[in-house]
């Protein structure tokens, strides 16, 4: 077998801890397996669970970067395990749960409670301008606005940006990149009756967009490559204008 086709032996260092078990202590366990072509971390972890330890906890649902449930720290960097190929990693692979979120066990964290609390805090749903009328003709939305809303809606709430964010790691009240993106999504929506002044108390403070220190790790790790820099610029201009009581800026660049 040539060097180019030689099978690599992968060594996994995996964080283990079951908070439900008083006897459990946080520690690292090692597993080894032979890499196969097109092996993702999803496949590798399933192989470990099937052959080595059925108690290993981790989350997957869609296996295609859509559901957002498989975020974890991969060699120190937040990533979706289902779309991470082992061939892109060195032979030693260190897997830890995402920080910030409540640990369920091993590599599984509860992102759902975090995002639900955020959605309740910012009331992350459309506050209609008018009561629904099933007989009303469909209203056309400006294409650019529709595209901007669509871009923000591509967030899968995997939590990778939150885990990478230095501020979210030390300030539990910080809305974080995904939270600010969610706010921007409703601020952009012409069907939502809330005005910039209504958002001011929620967004224009250190738990909102002015808490961001601009380290931009969120931008580096977002698996959907959301335009987070644009989002922050949009929110800052909006809140500055609302604070000064002047007209609001359109989203661009």
Residue 84 engages ligand FES in binding (rule: CB under 6 A) = no
- Mark residues 47-66: x for contact with ligand FES by CB under 6 A, - for none: -------------xxxx-xx
Residue 67 engages ligand FES in binding (rule: CB under 6 A) = yes
The binder of ligand FES chosen from 14, 70, 187, 204 (CB under 6 A): 70
Three-class SS of residue 226? coil
Q: What is the 8-class DSSP label of residue 202?
A: H
Residue 82 engages ligand FES in binding (rule: CB under 6 A) = yes
Looking at beta carbons only, is 69 or 181 nearer to ligand FES? Answer: 69
Residue 229 engages ligand FES in binding (rule: CB under 6 A) = no
The binder of ligand FES chosen from 45, 80, 98, 228 (CB under 6 A): 80
From 175, 222, 225, select the one nearest 202 (Cα to Cα): 175
Three-class SS of residue 201? helix
Length of the chain, in residues = 253
From 113, 62, 92, 101, select the one nearest 223 (Cα to Cα): 62
Residues sharing a CB contact under 8 Å with residue 127, sequence separation 6 or more, in sequence order: 186, 192, 193, 194
Looking at beta carbons only, is 61 or 250 nearer to ligand FES? Answer: 61
Q: How far is the CB of 95 from ligand FES (least distance, A)?
A: 14
Looking at beta carbons only, is 80 or 242 nearer to ligand FES? Answer: 80
Handedness of CA 168, 174, 235, 231 (dihedral sign): positive
**C-alpha angle with apex 39: 34 to 43, nearest 5 degrees?**
90
- Cβ-based neighbour number of residue 114 at 10 Å: 22
Residue 242 engages ligand FES in binding (rule: CB under 6 A) = no
Q: How far is the CB of 154 from ligand FES (least distance, A)?
A: 13
Q: How far is the CB of 81 from ligand FES (least distance, A)?
A: 6
Q: How far is the CB of 24 from ligand FES (least distance, A)?
A: 25
Q: How far is the CB of 59 from ligand FES (least distance, A)?
A: 7
Q: How far is the CB of 199 from ligand FES (least distance, A)?
A: 30
From 69, 96, 93, 99, select the one nearest 83 (Cα to Cα): 69
Phi, psi of 206 (to 5 degrees): -75, -15
From 196, 195, 164, select the one nearest 178 (Cα to Cα): 164
Looking at beta carbons only, is 46 or 169 nearer to ligand FES? Answer: 46
Residue 197 engages ligand FES in binding (rule: CB under 6 A) = no
Residues that bind ligand FES (CB under 6 A): 60-63, 65-70, 80, 82
């Amino acid at each position: 077998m040539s060097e180019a086709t030689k099978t690599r032996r992968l060594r996994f260092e995996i964080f283990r801890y079951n908070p439900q078990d008083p006897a459990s202590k946080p520690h690292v366990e090692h597993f080894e397996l032979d890499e196969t072509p097109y092996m993702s971390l999803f496949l590798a972890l399933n192989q470990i669970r099937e052959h080595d330890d059925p108690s290993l906890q981790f989350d997957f649902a869609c296996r295609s970067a859509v559901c957002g449930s498989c975020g974890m720290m991969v060699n120190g960097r937040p990533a979706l395990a289902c779309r991470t190929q082992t061939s892109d990693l060195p032979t030693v692979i260190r897997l830890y749960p995402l920080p910030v979120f409540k640990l369920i066990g091993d590599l599984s964290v509860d992102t759902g409670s975090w995002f639900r609390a955020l959605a309740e805090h910012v009331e992350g749903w459309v506050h209609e301008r008018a009561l629904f009328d099933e007989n009303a003709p469909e209203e056309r939305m400006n294409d650019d606005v529709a595209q901007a809303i669509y871009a923000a809606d591509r967030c899968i709430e995997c939590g990778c940006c939150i885990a990478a964010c230095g501020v979210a790691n030390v300030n539990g009240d910080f809305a974080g990149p995904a939270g600010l993106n969610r706010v921007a999504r409703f601020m952009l929506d012409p069907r939502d009756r809330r005005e910039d002044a209504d958002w001011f108390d929620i967004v224009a403070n250190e738990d909102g967009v002015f808490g961001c220190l601009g380290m931009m790790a969120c931008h580096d790790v977002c698996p959907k490559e959301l335009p987070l820099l644009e989002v922050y610029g949009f929110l800052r201009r909006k809140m500055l204008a609302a604070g000064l009581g002047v007209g609001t800026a359109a989203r661009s660049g």
